[in-house]
Structure 1
């Protein structure tokens, strides 16, 4: 069992609110996080049928991609589906937390999951929206504590440079301090200058993870007051943003790739625009409604854009740009359900959070049927 705030803190370690686009109604929408949570349901949408599933499964917290409250409610009563959703959740003490565009942007989020499902390689962000600033973190540690502080930094995500992890530089020196009245020094006596053999550990952190890394560092550091530097660097991490663009291992005809998309996302039907015999290899994906980004995908060199909710006239625009488009529907974002469970499971293991069951919703929230 864990506190609801603790669970959302782990979720926001990979999909923080700062990633969300302005005006996106994310975060806690119904209920409270100040409670113990045993069971978490992960869903794409929060429909009344999903809430009924949550009640049946004795869920304490729902994590959803699409916010159930997207605009202000004039009233909350049983005369509307939105009102019944709110009433049922409150009655059964089910909290609802939504992560929309922040989960689209996040590494390992909706767009990465879609790219992975299609087997794309060498992926990069299609629409940059967040600069992940890099900082150098330097901390001074007594020799006997170097291993545990070093390990804590790595586990918290420090030291990632390209394809390398746990990157650090260690140098030795002598630290000096004098504990004043009221201090409880780890070594030495109050009122006396103390000199200690110390190791300076240098590593890199980012705008995204520096706070959690510093918390982890302080938790295991033996000193009462931890001396450290956090310095912005000229080097930058890859930007974060909407969509991904990458490559297939081998080119294939557009029709064959469309069949691949249908199989990968387990959809009954899809639409596509373009010459079915044209060979395609460079693929852009963008979860949800990608109509605004057709020209972006074309100018990025994509042969195909895989997205949902394609408009008639936008399809004409894509044809004029020479860009094929495959529309498997908005609902393919449901790949986030198992993806979020996997990401949270990994973080719970690292943080030794136990007694929380993560459940993938089995309710079908796709509104469309096909003849």
Structure 2
């Protein structure tokens, strides 16, 4: 059986989700590891965490492939005092490399946002340049915002969504971007979207969306990106099979949304709670 090195897996990753698609602020690629080390098993996770490193090590996987990078901002030291430090120390002690596919997975054909457009049932999907990570598409028929929210909640298996809208209007053209996408608000407007779908919407960004009269559904960062694990695993599984390589691919099963949301009955309605209520 041919042994595969971490460097060769990086080459495969580049074919599947080209690193040239990465945003210039991003840190995709090897986070820690020896490119010459051989890899017989790969674990896949959304986040690089001590528990996902432990799962990889316990399952004889010499590599953890994640969506979110272990190192995104410059770090001054690697110590147990920080989550990044604990994760990297655990990886080094366990001899588990970390390879991250972040904005290249967001942008690439067959990546996370193509998947999201498919989940939403969008047609005539295009890349709304310059927002390369986003997708713009048309629903097969006009739906109310609440109906799109119901579809999204079911497909993503999430229990709650946040809706930013003045009324439950009919929409047809949808601009979607996984993760934290409110930086693309003006792009969604320029492409004449009726509805924007993303995550991590902050208060003042929500105010701006209301003022600009662009409805937004916030499906949560985890809810929109947790399926990155199955997307990456399936892509590598297919590639290894085609290449005749016996590399085990396993998904980390323990990840969960860090937010627990308490919801009250009522759903989406036009009456709005005010600060004086």
TM-score, scaled to structure 2: 0.88
Q: 1:84-131 CA distances to partner (integer Å, 9 max, x unpaired)? A: 2112111111000112112211111111111112221211012336xx
Q: 1:187-245 CA distances to partner (integer Å, 9 max, x unpaired)? A: xxxxxxxxxxxxxxxxxxxxxxxxxxxxxxxxxxxxxxxxxxxxxxxxxxxxxx21001
Structure-to-structure mapping, 1:16-95, within 5 angstroms: 16-95=18-97
How many Å separate the matches in 2 of 1:88 and 1:45?
Answer: 14
Q: Which of 334, 344, 366 pairs up with 2:226?
A: 334
Q: Which of 158, 175, 192 pairs up with 1:284?
A: 175
How many Å separate the matches in 2 of 1:345 and 1:368?
Answer: 31
Alpha carbons of structure 1 residues 79 and 299: separation in structure 2 relative to 1, 3 Å: closer
Q: Which of 189, 194, 205 pairs up with 1:298?
A: 189
Question: Which residue in 2 is equivalent to 1:107?
Answer: 109
How many Å separate the matches in 1 of 2:54 and 2:107?
Answer: 30
How many Å separate the matches in 1 of 2:173 and 2:66?
Answer: 31
Q: 1:226-284 CA distances to partner (integer Å, 9 max, x unpaired)? A: xxxxxxxxxxxxxxx21001112222111111111111111121101124531112111
Structure-to-structure mapping, 1:213-228, within 5 angstroms: none
Question: Which residue in 2 is equivalent to 1:11?
Answer: 13
8 A contact 1:113–1:336 mirrored in 2: no
How many Å separate the matches in 1 of 2:63 and 2:260?
Answer: 29
5+ residue gaps in structure 1?
130-240
Question: Which residue in 2 is equivalent to 1:219?
Answer: none
Q: 1:165-188 CA distances to partner (integer Å, 9 max, x unpaired)? A: xxxxxxxxxxxxxxxxxxxxxxxx
8 A contact 2:10–2:29 mirrored in 1: no
Please report the RMSD computed on the Cα atoms of aligned residues, expressed in angstroms.
1.7
5+ residue gaps in structure 2?
263-277
Question: Which residue in 1 is equivalent to 2:100?
Answer: 98
Specify the structure having the higher radius of gyration (Cα).
1
How far is the alpha carbon of 1:45 from its aligned partner?
0.8
How many Å separate the matches in 2 of 1:34 and 1:335?
Answer: 29
How many Å separate the matches in 1 of 2:45 and 2:256?
Answer: 9
Q: Which of 336, 343, 347 pairs up with 2:235?
A: 343
8 A contact 2:53–2:90 mirrored in 1: yes
1:274 aligns with 2:165: yes
8 A contact 1:254–1:275 mirrored in 2: no
Q: Which of 268, 292, 309 pairs up with 2:200?
A: 309
Classify the secondary structure of the residue corresponding to 1:286: strand
Which structure has greater helix proportion?
2
Which structure has greater strand proportion?
1
- Provide the aligned length of Structure 1 versus Structure 2: 259
Classify the secondary structure of the residue corresponding to 2:129: strand
How many Å separate the matches in 1 of 2:235 and 2:23?
Answer: 22
How many Å separate the matches in 2 of 1:276 and 1:40?
Answer: 47
